Amino acid sequence: MIVETIGYVLEAAQAALALLLAPGLVGLIRWLKARLQNRRGAPIWQPYWELSKLFQKEVVVSSNASWLFRAAPFVVFSSAVAVTFLVPILAVPLPFDGVGDLLVVVYLLLLGTFFLSLAGLDPGSPFGGMGASREMTVAALAEPTVALAIFALALSAGSTNLGQIVARTMTSPGASLSPGHLLAFGALFIVTLAETGRLPIDNPATHLELTMIHEAMILEYSGRYLALIEWAAALKLFIFFSLLGNLFIPWGVSAVLTPATLAVAVASLLVKLAVLAGVVAVLETRIAKLRLFRVPELLSVSFVLALLAVTSSFLLR
């Protein structure tokens, strides 16, 4: 009973931690990028100020928009928060492990994308439509890679349950260096860039409407709605980073619930996030945005990586 209660407390703590750290992660990438580009850059906590500013601003809604436009930010935000209860951020196994597996996580995120795209179309602005169309294209083309990466992970763990995947990799450390695992990591990394709207697929810093994807879609949003959407986007980045960090390199994730292991878990999570943020910052400094119609090529690279990951696990059994 007590263990269960601790589990639920941990779930809540995990979600709170994700909500708290997510904007900071975005700030960290921006700051690192600025440093790499010889700029001073805004402080890491700048996104927090932006969110609190947006929450205090008035909302302007287009006269063409319907209730869906006003409901969408809540759907997007809630689905992202729901996912933070399902993914192993600090500890395994958690009580909600049976509520949703990796497939549920992927489709919950798709739920958010679906409603955000609809909201992009709702005000009737051509930019919103453009963003929605591109966002759905990228999301659809990334889907097979995600599924295959899940397949590769599930193959070695014998389950799609996130807790079991983490536990399995922890017990057999050699598995995380197997070719299947490494290839799947590569595939999922590219998908992370696509799903979270980073370079070279989308430029989060752009303000030229014709090249935007995510930003074009949410162009009509303002005030608290925009804040929710920005926060959800940061959460999505946080979720993908912690999936990359904890599914493939699970060390540090607490398997026995003691204060010491939890402290290690928090520390290792911060290290993993910082390293991934660093990698993304370097990448975004080094490469330019791809033309929209070259994006499928990049995604097919990730698809092939994932396919090789699965077939290699089949052949190396």
Partner 1 sequence: MALAYLLLTLHLAAHAIGVTAALVARGAVGRGLVAGSGLVGALAALGLGSVCLGAGLVPTLSATFLPLTGFALRIDGLSAFFLIVIGMVGAAVTVYGFGYSAAYEGRYSLRLLGAMLNVLLLSLSVQVMADNALTFLLAWEAMSLSTYAMVLTEHDRPGTVRAAHWYIAITHAGFAALVAMFLLLSAGELTTSFAAMRSAALTPGARDAAFVLALVGFGAKAGIAPLHVWLPMAHPVAPSHVSALMSGVVIKMGVYGLLRVTIDLLVGGPAWWGGLILAAGTISALLGVLYALMEHDLKRLLAYHSVENIGIIFIGIGAGLMFQSYGLTTLATLGVISGLYHTINHACFKGLLFLGAGSVLHATGTRNMEEMGGLIKRMPRTALFFLIGACAISALPPLNGFASEWLVFQTLLGGSAIPQPEVAVIMPIAVAMLALTSGLAAACFVKAFGITFLAIPRSREAERAHEAPRSMQIGMASLALACVALGLAPFVVVPALGASLAGLGGVAPSAVAFTPALSLRVPGTSGQMSAPLLALGLLLLMGLVPVALWILGADRRLRVGDTWGCGRIGQTPRMEYTATAFAEPLRRVFAELYRPTRDLSIDFHPESKYFVQSIEYRSEIHPWLERLLYDRPLHGLHRAATWVRRLQGGSLHLYLLYLTLAFLALLTAARWWR
Q: How far is the CB of 55 from partner 1 (least distance, A)?
A: 4
Cβ closer to partner 1: 261 or 311? 311
Torsion (CA) 195, 196, 199, 202 in degrees, nearest 10: 70
**Helix (H/G/I), strand (E/B), else coil: 91:** strand
The CA-based angle 113-102-155, given to 5 degrees, is: 135
Q: How far is the CB of 139 from partner 1 (least distance, A)?
A: 6
Cβ closer to partner 1: 182 or 264? 182
Looking up tokens 């390293």, which residue turns up? Answer: 275
Q: How far is the CB of 51 from partner 1 (least distance, A)?
A: 10
Q: Which residues pair with 254 in a beta bridge?
A: 91
Q: How far is the CB of 48 from partner 1 (least distance, A)?
A: 13
> Following DSSP, what letter does each residue of 226-248 receive, concatenated?
HHHHHHHHHHHHHHHHHHHHHHH
Q: How far is the CB of 28 from partner 1 (least distance, A)?
A: 24
Range 278-284 contact pairs with CB under 8 angstroms and sequence separation of 24 or more: 278/32, 280/29, 280/193, 280/198, 281/29, 281/32, 281/33, 281/36, 282/36, 283/193, 283/198, 283/199, 284/29, 284/33, 284/198, 284/199
Cβ closer to partner 1: 5 or 56? 56
**Helix (H/G/I), strand (E/B), else coil: 252:** coil
Q: How far is the CB of 176 from partner 1 (least distance, A)?
A: 19
Q: How far apart are CA 194 and CA 174, in angstroms?
A: 29
Q: Which of 84, 130, 143 is nearest to 296 (CA)?
A: 143
Q: How far is the CB of 284 from partner 1 (least distance, A)?
A: 23
3-state secondary structure labels for all residues of 256-308: CCCHHHHHHHHHHHHHHHHHHHHHHHHHHHHCCCCCHHHHHHHHHHHHHHHHH
Q: How far is the CB of 232 from partner 1 (least distance, A)?
A: 10
**94 within 8 A of 163, measured Cβ to Cβ:** yes
